[in-house]
Chain A
Amino acid sequence: MTTLSTEVLVIGGGATGVGVAWDATLRGIDAVLVDRADLAEGTSGRFHGLLHSGGRYAVKDPRAAKECIAENRILRRVAADCIEDTGGLFVTTPFDDPAYADTFVAACQATGVDCEEIAASEALASEPRLHPQISRAFRVPDANIDVWKTVWAMGHGAQQRGARILTYHEVIAVHRSSDRVTGARVRDVRTGSEIDIEARVTVNAAGAWAGRIADMAGVEGVRVLPGRGIMIAMNHRLVNTVINRCQMPTDGDILVPIRTVSVIGTTDQHTDDPDDHTVEQAEVDRMFDDGEKLVPGFRQARALRVWTGVRPLFEDAKESDTDTRDVTRAHALLDHEQRDGVGGFVTITGGKLTTYRMMAEETVDAVCRHLGVSRECTTATESLPGSESGATYRLGERLQRKEAALQDEQVICECELVTRSSLEEAMRRTGSTKLDDIRRQLRLGMGPCQGGFCNYRATGLLHGIDELSAEDANQALLDFLQERWKGMWPILYGDQLRQVRFDDWVFQGVLDVAHAPGAAGAEAVAAEQPS
C-alpha cells in the first residue's frame, strides 16, 4: 500500500476544497486533495454560473449579501480571466409586487451592494427581449463566472506549488487515533488501488456529502440537507446582462448569460440523496413558464440542456454546542476539536460559489491554528494563474483567437471552438480516458449539437493519444453519448429534438456505434461470414 504524508489533507475537489488547497499552498502549507470524481464535478460545476452582487440576498439575508459583494469585488481582480463582467439587472415585472423595489433599494444601501435605478426604457433599450411591461430596473454588479476555469486555475496553481491532487480517489476510511483524525484511506476508483494518507489536519470540504465524511470520522450531528435545483441552458444569449426578478428570491427568477448560452434557474426540492439528479417534468414546465415572464417568447428558444445541482444546506444537529453559533448563516465552519473534542479535523460546508474564497480563507485560518503557525492569507490579492493581467473575460475572445489563424488549425468542436491542439494537449495533460473530463476543461460538446460532430472526432484523437484498445475507445464514445443524452432527454423539444435526430443519424446510422465491439448490441460478424 502506498502511503502519503502531508500537513493538510483536503477531502472534496469543489471550489471550496480546491480553494483551500490553493490558499494553503500560498501560505506554504503542504496539501493533498482527494475527490471521488473529477474537480468541480459536484455542486460547484452544477450551478448557473452567477457571480452574485449580493442583490439577491440584500433583503432576505443581509449577512450573505455583504459577503457576496465583498467577494465579488475580490474575485473580479484575482480570478479576472474566469469572469465576464455582464453586469446585472433587477427588474420589476408585471408579476412582481411593486412594493418590493423600495425595500430592495434600502436593503442594498444597508448592505453595501452597489445599486443604481435606471429608467425602465433604458433597461429595455439595453435588453430588448425583456418583458416590455417592466416598471422599474436596477443595475447591480452581477457577473458570470466559469467555475471549471476557476477551479482548474487554482488546482494548477496549487500543483505548481507542490500540492498533490488525486482525482477519482474516494475516501473509504477516515483514520482516527484516539481523539484525533490522522488522515484517510482512499481508493482509486479506476484501478482499485488504495493509498493511506497521513495528515496533521484533515479538511472535510465534501459539500453536500460532508455529513458522510463526518460520519466516517466518528463525528456526530453534521447534517447536510441536500436541496436539489434544476437549471436549463437555452441556446442563445437571450440577454447579455444577468436578469433577476425584483422580488423575494424564489424559483426560476434568474437568467444568467454565460459563454454562448443563457441559463435559467432554479428550483429547490428537498432530497435525501445528494447524488439524486432527478429532473421532474413539473420543474421543467415551471422554468419555461418563469422564462416567459422574464423574456416573452422564451419557449420559442431552443432548450439545450438541463442539469441539477444540490445545495449543501447545513443543519447542526448538535445544538447544545455553543461554538458553532457564530458561523454565518451562509456557510458553516466546524472546528471539531472545539465542537467534538476531535483534533486535526475541520468541516467546511454550506455557502455558495461566490463566497468560496472566503470559506477557504476561514478554513485555512483554522488549519493554521491546528498546525500552530501564523501565516496571512493572500488569496484576496494573489491572482489565479491566467488572471494576472486583471482583464476580465470577453465573449468572443476565443473566436478572435481562432480567426487569427483560421486556416491553420483544425477545429474539433465547432460549437465551442475547441481546436485540435488544445484538445490533444488536455488529453495528454490529464491522461484521462473520459471525454467528459476533457469537456469540463475545454467545453467540448457543450454547444448546440451536444457532441454530434465532436464526439467521434475526439474519440479518434483519444484513441491515438492514449493508445486505447478499440473497445475502450468505443466505450469512451458511448459514455460521452450517454452523458450528453442525460442532460437532453428531459427537455427535448423543437429544434433540439431535430438536432438529436440528426445525431441519431450520425451515431446509429453512419457509424453504427450501437454495434461497435464492446457495445451492448455488438456481435461477431466477420467470424460468421464465409471465408
Chain B
Amino acid sequence: MRSQLHFDAVVIGGGMAGLTAGTRLAQAGAKVAVLAKGYGSTHLSPSTIDVLGYTPERVRSPSESLGKLIAERPDHPYALVGVDAVSDSLSWFADCAAHGPLPSYEYVGGIDRNLAIPTAMGVLRPSAMVPSTMAGGEASALGTVAIVSVPSLREFHPALCAANLTAAGIESRALTLPMAVERADMNPVGMARRFEDPAWRGHFCAQLLAQLRTEEHVGLPAMLGLNDPAAVVADLERRLGRTVFEIPTLPPSVPGMRRYEILRSALRAAGGRLALGADVISHERSNGRVTSVSTHAAGRDLIYVADWFVLASGGFASGAIELDSHWVTHERVLGLPLRGVPEAGSPRFEREYLTEQPLAAAGVAVDAELRAEGTENVFVAGASLPGATPWREGSGEGIALASGYRAAAVIAGGLRTEEGVAS
C-alpha cells in the first residue's frame, strides 16, 4: 500500500517558478509541497533577474517596453500576468533576498531601468535586477577595470572578457594569478569555497596587489563564496582598496546556488515542504480536476493528494516538454495540451542558430489566469508557459517569478473563496 499525503496545493518543479509559487502559497497559509525531480534552472543561470533584455532591440526600461510587448503579443506570458505581477514579484523576491539566509546579500535594481553588466565574454548584458555582488559591474559605473581569474578555472577567460569590454569602450586589462591549487581543474563552486577562507583571500589579494596598476575596479568570476558573499566582497574591497564585482560564469553557477538557498529558505520559513528527487510518474484525474500525483523517490512511491496543482516543471530544457523521434510534442508530467507547436511538416528549427526558432515558444496551453487548458485546478508557471523565448528575450527569471507569483495568487484567491463558502 502506498502512502498518501494530503496538501492544499502541490507544486511540480523546484526551479525559480516552482519555488516562487510554493513559497507564495505557503505564505498565504496553504499547506504546500514542492516536488522537484532535481535542482532546477537556478543552478544553471547567471542568477540575475532578467525581465526583458531584447525585443529584439536592446531594452532600456523593461517597464516601458513591457506595455508594448503586452499589446503586440497577447499570448506572451507577460500579457497573461500583467506588469503589476512583474513589479510585485520582483519586490517580493528582493525582500526574500534581503531577509534571507545570506547576510547583506541583496538584489538591486528594478523594472524601470535595465542594468548592463558584463558576461564572461565581456558582453554588456541587460538585466533588471542583479545580486549586490554583481552590481559593481554596471557599465555606467565602470572606469578602468582589471578582469582577474586563476588558471585552474576553465569557465572564465579574463583576456577575452577584457578584450570585449575594451571594444565596448570600457578600458580593461586581464590578469591571471598563478594561485596554487591542488588540481588543474577547479570549477566555480570549488573556488567559492576557497574564497570563504580569509587566509586564501589574503594570499590572493597580496598577489593581485602586486600586479594591479591604476585600475579602479576589479572584476572576478562569480565565485566569491556561497554562504556570505557580501562579506567576501567587502573583505576583498577593503584589502584591495577598489570596488570588486562578480561576473557570471558557465555552470555550475555559484550565484544560482545562492538564489536557490534564498528561495528554499523562504519556502521553509513559510512552512512549505520541498521534496527533492521526487519524480512525478503518474497522476489521477476526475471531472477535469487533477486529484493526485504520484512520485517515485528514495525507493518508494508516494501519493500527493491536493486541491490545487502548479505545473512549473520547465520546458524542453528540463525534459518536461518533449519532442519525440516521430516529431510529436508532449507534456510529459500531466499530459496537458500544448500551444505554439509548429504544425506537422512545417519547420521546427531554422538553419541559422541565432534566430527565432519556430518550436522554441511552444508550451502548455493556458487561459488568462494561467489555468491549464482542460483542467480546473492546474496552473502553469515559468518555462512551461508558451509564447516566450526567454534566452533570446532575456526574460526567463522575470517570467518565472511573475507567473509563479501570479499562479499562487489565483490559487490563494480560490482557497479564500472555499474557506468563505465553508464558514
Residues of A within 8 A of B (CB): 288, 299-300, 303, 407-412, 420, 453, 456-457, 459-461, 463-464, 469-471, 473-474, 477-478, 481-482, 485-486, 489-490, 492-495, 497-498, 501-502, 504-506, 508-517, 519-521, 523-527, 529-531
Bitwise, B124-156 to A at CB < 8 A (1) or not (0) is 110000000000000110100000000010111
- 20 other contacts beyond A299-B324, A525-B139, with CB at 8 A cut-off? A407-B183, A412-B154, A456-B155, A456-B250, A463-B159, A463-B160, A463-B163, A493-B327, A501-B315, A504-B317, A508-B391, A509-B391, A510-B119, A510-B248, A513-B121, A517-B123, A525-B58, A525-B168, A526-B170, A530-B140
Contact of A407 among B139, B182, B322, B351 (CB under 8 A): B182
Residues of B near A514 (CB, < 8 A) are 354, 392
Residues of B near A409 (CB, < 8 A) are 184
In the complex, are the beta carbons of B250 and A506 less than 8 A apart? yes
Bitwise, B46-60 to A at CB < 8 A (1) or not (0) is 100010001010100
In the complex, are the beta carbons of A498 and B170 less than 8 A apart? no
Task: Say whether B45 faces chain A, with CB atoms less than 8 Å apart.
Answer: yes
Task: Report the separation of the CA atoms of residues A504 and B159 in the bound assembly, to the nearest whole angstrom.
Answer: 23
Task: Report the separation of the CA atoms of residues A495 and B322 in the bound assembly, to the nearest whole angstrom.
Answer: 8
Residues of A near B56 (CB, < 8 A) are 521
Question: Once A and B bind, how many residue pairs between them come within 8 Å at the CB atom?
Answer: 180
In the complex, are the beta carbons of B167 and A471 less than 8 A apart? yes
Task: Say whether B323 faces chain A, with CB atoms less than 8 Å apart.
Answer: yes
In the complex, are the beta carbons of A459 and B160 less than 8 A apart? yes
Task: Say whether B385 faces chain A, with CB atoms less than 8 Å apart.
Answer: no
In the complex, are the beta carbons of A456 and B157 less than 8 A apart? yes
Task: Output the least CB separation between B67 and chain A (Å).
Answer: 22
In the complex, are the beta carbons of A408 and B184 less than 8 A apart? yes
In the complex, are the beta carbons of A463 and B392 less than 8 A apart? no
In the complex, are the beta carbons of B353 and A482 less than 8 A apart? yes
Residues of A near B184 (CB, < 8 A) are 407-410, 420
In the complex, are the beta carbons of A410 and B152 less than 8 A apart? yes
Task: Report the separation of the CA atoms of residues A489 and B154 in the bound assembly, to the nearest whole angstrom.
Answer: 28
Name the prevailing secondary structure of the B interface residues: loop
In the complex, are the beta carbons of A410 and B119 less than 8 A apart? no
Name the prevailing secondary structure of the A interface residues: helix
List which B166-195 residues lie within 8 A (CB) of chain A.
Answer: 166-170, 182-185
Determine the residue in chain B with the shortest Cβ distance to A463. Answer: B160
Task: Report the separation of the CA atoms of residues A519 and B251 in the bound assembly, to the nearest whole angstrom.
Answer: 23
Task: Report the separation of the CA atoms of residues A412 and B170 in the bound assembly, to the nearest whole angstrom.
Answer: 29
Bitwise, B317-334 to A at CB < 8 A (1) or not (0) is 111001111110000000
In the complex, are the beta carbons of A474 and B164 less than 8 A apart? yes
In the complex, are the beta carbons of A473 and B154 less than 8 A apart? no
Task: Say whether B349 faces chain A, with CB atoms less than 8 Å apart.
Answer: yes
In the complex, are the beta carbons of B157 and A461 less than 8 A apart? yes
Task: Report the separation of the CA atoms of residues A474 and B251 in the bound assembly, to the nearest whole angstrom.
Answer: 20
Task: Say whether B270 faces chain A, with CB atoms less than 8 Å apart.
Answer: no
Task: Report the separation of the CA atoms of residues A318 and B154 in the bound assembly, to the nearest whole angstrom.
Answer: 59
Task: Report the separation of the CA atoms of residues A410 and B181 in the bound assembly, to the nearest whole angstrom.
Answer: 13
Task: Say whether B116 faces chain A, with CB atoms less than 8 Å apart.
Answer: yes
Residues A463 and B140 in contact in the complex (CB < 8 Å), given A411-B185, A510-B248, A517-B168 = no
In the complex, are the beta carbons of B317 and A498 less than 8 A apart? yes
Residues of B near A520 (CB, < 8 A) are 354
Residues A288 and B325 in contact in the complex (CB < 8 Å), given A453-B250, A529-B139 = yes
Residue of B124, B353, B354 with most partner-chain A CB within 10 A: B353
Residues of B near A512 (CB, < 8 A) are 119, 121, 123, 125, 394
Determine the residue in chain A with the shortest Cβ distance to B44. Answer: A505
Task: Output the least CB separation between A424 and chain B (Å).
Answer: 12
Task: Report the separation of the CA atoms of residues A516 and B249 in the bound assembly, to the nearest whole angstrom.
Answer: 16
In the complex, are the beta carbons of B157 and A460 less than 8 A apart? yes
In the complex, are the beta carbons of A470 and B354 less than 8 A apart? no
Contact of B121 among A407, A474, A489 (CB under 8 A): A474
Determine the residue in chain A with the shortest Cβ distance to B46. Answer: A510
